[in-house]
Amino acid sequence: MDSSKTPDTATGSKESVSLKPETTGTMVSTSEPSSLNQVQELIEPVFDFLGKLPDELGNFFADYQKPLITLLIFATGIVSVYVTLSVINAINDIPLLSPVLELVGLGYSVWFVYRYLLRASTRSELLQEFEVLKKQVVGKNTQDH
């Protein structure tokens, strides 16, 4: 027994045994902070990105304002055409409404031709009304060009 004790004390196995639990404990304790550090390293760029996002979006909209407005107008036009066609299809599905609306449109076309297009005097009146409307819309005299 004495011989078994002497190699332990001579080699310092007591110290190595005491170090093993510390290294195991250190590994567990360092693994938790390292996992927290890893999570923080993953989250930090996300927070940086989200912090800079309003400025980046503001710069993006300032740089590309005209193309974005054009794209928005184009998309709005497509949506409004789609909605209009859907409404027209819904109206066409109502049994007697479609033929009645066609008759109303035909009657208005006949009245417009009779009122404005048959005589030269009424055609000039229509052109004058059109010029007044054009001045109101454009806001300046179109004949000065």
Average pLDDT over residues 86-111: 92
Average pLDDT over residues 77-104: 93
Lowest mean pLDDT of 35-49, 98-112, 131-145, name the range: 131-145
Judge contact between 135 and 128, C-beta under 8 A: no
| Residue pLDDT, tens place only, 39-57 | 888 889 888 888 998 998 8
Q: How would residue 136 be classed by pLDDT, with cut points 50, 70 and 90?
A: very high
Spatial separation of the C-alpha atoms in residues 61 and 138, rounded to whole Å? 29
Average pLDDT over residues 74-79: 98
* pLDDT at residue 104 tops 70: yes
Please indicate whether residue 132 or residue 9 has the higher confidence score (pLDDT): 132
pLDDT of 37? 85
The 3 state secondary structure assigned to the chain is: CHHHHHHHHHHCHHHHHHHHHHHHHHHHHHHHHHHHHHHHHHHHHHHHHHHHHHHHHHHHHHHCHHHHHHHHHHHHHHHHHHHHHHHHHHHHCCCCHHHHHHHHHHHHHHHHHHHHHCCHHHHHHHHHHHHHHHHHHHCCCHHHC
Q: How would residue 137 be classed by pLDDT, with cut points 50, 70 and 90?
A: very high
Please indicate whether residue 32 or residue 108 has the higher confidence score (pLDDT): 108
pLDDT of 98? 85
Q: How would residue 139 be classed by pLDDT, with cut points 50, 70 and 90?
A: confident
